[in-house]
């Protein structure tokens, strides 16, 4: 049986690459020096795209491949895939939800604890030898009794909430709908939520609707003792407004796994003492990445076997 041709936009972990090489004729776009010529030579044969959440697939890439049937995304976020164009072309789009929920929620809790308890600063203090000279004088903040505001009560938002409850935090949220199956306090807008909580955890999906939802007004409402955690997409936060809020003391601090222009991070965030930073690595465990790769492979297998993929966007 002839193997289907699949365009790989960027590399996957080697164990997944080995499976894909065995099942498909792979075309590695990231290795090509001239993308346009590379695609033109293969335009009529490529039936699938395997991409990543950080790379996506735009309309130009789709239009360069007239035989394209499926775009399989390694990641839950598909904000960098032109979904409207794919739908208009009748192209199936899949992603990898559910398998990364726990790890991303764990990172949200870890970032919140690291920020509140100043764990990176304590580590640096011990390593520098300063502890031998004097005790670290600055006290930190307890989470117990505080209110966590969850912006986006989806799978990850709910998983973060259950972890925060174990820390004896109260939970409030804003979402597009009121969820009747939880007893958390609901607020009708991000601004109202921010004004009512001590920590604001951003768990939104990336889209035009959520772009810069956390703006200057929301940050002002969070207040000088408030903390912001972002484990969603960098696009959901007005980054210049966040920098200004951190520098002016409008909020107490921020812990960020995502940024507006990754991997570029504003210098003001790199040098700030009230910020904890991670390299968009919330799902970066051996277990979760293996599960993500397996789901991409299964989505592709099902499609080319004439079956419905297990996790389609549409």
* Active site (catalytic) residues: 233, 262, 280
List all residues 6 or more positions away from 81 whose beta carbon is below 8 Å from its beta carbon.
51, 56, 57, 58, 71, 73, 93, 313
**Percent helix / strand / coil, the chain, rounded to 5:** 40, 20, 45
In 185-207, which positions are buried (b, 16+ CB within 10 angstroms) versus exposed (e)? ebbeebbbbbbbbbbbbbbbbbe
Q: Give the H/E segment covering residue 92.
A: strand 92-94
Q: How far apart are CA 165 and CA 234, in angstroms?
A: 26
Cβ of 241: how many Cβ atoms within 10 Å? 18
């Amino acid at each position: 049986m002839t193997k289907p041709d699949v365009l790989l936009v960027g590399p996957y972990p080697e164990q997944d690459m080995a499976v894909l090489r065995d099942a498909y004729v792979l075309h590695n776009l990231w290795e090509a020096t001239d993308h346009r010529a590379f695609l033109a030579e293969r335009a009529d044969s490529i039936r699938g795209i395997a991409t990543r959440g950080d790379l996506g697939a735009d309309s130009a890439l789709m239009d360069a491949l007239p035989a394209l049937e499926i775009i399989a995304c390694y990641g839950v976020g598909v904000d960098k895939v032109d979904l409207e164009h794919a739908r208009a072309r009748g192209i199936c789009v899949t992603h990898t939800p559910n398998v990364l929920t726990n790890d991303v929620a764990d990172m949200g809790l870890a970032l919140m604890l690291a920020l509140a308890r100043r764990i990176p600063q304590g580590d640096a203090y011990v390593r520098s030898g300063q502890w031998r000279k004097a005790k670290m004088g600055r006290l930190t903040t307890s989470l117990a009794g505080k209110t966590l505001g969850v912006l986006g009560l989806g799978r990850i938002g709910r998983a973060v909430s259950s972890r925060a409850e174990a820390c004896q935090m109260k939970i409030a949220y804003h979402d597009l709908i009121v969820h009747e199956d939880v007893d958390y306090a609901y607020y009708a807008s991000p601004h109202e939520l921010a004004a009512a909580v001590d920590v604001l955890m951003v768990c939104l999906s990336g889209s035009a609707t959520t772009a810069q939802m956390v703006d200057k007004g929301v940050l002002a409402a969070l207040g000088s003792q408030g903390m912001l955690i972002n484990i969603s997409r960098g696009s959901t936060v007005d980054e210049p407004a966040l920098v200004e809020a951190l520098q002016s003391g409008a909020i107490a601090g921020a812990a960020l796994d995502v940024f507006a222009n990754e991997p570029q991070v504003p210098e003001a965030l790199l040098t700030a003492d009230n910020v904890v930073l991670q390299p968009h690595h919330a799902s970066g465990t051996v277990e979760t990445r293996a599960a993500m790769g397996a789901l991409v492979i299964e989505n592709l297998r099902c499609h080319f076997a004439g079956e419905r993929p297990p996790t389609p966007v549409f």
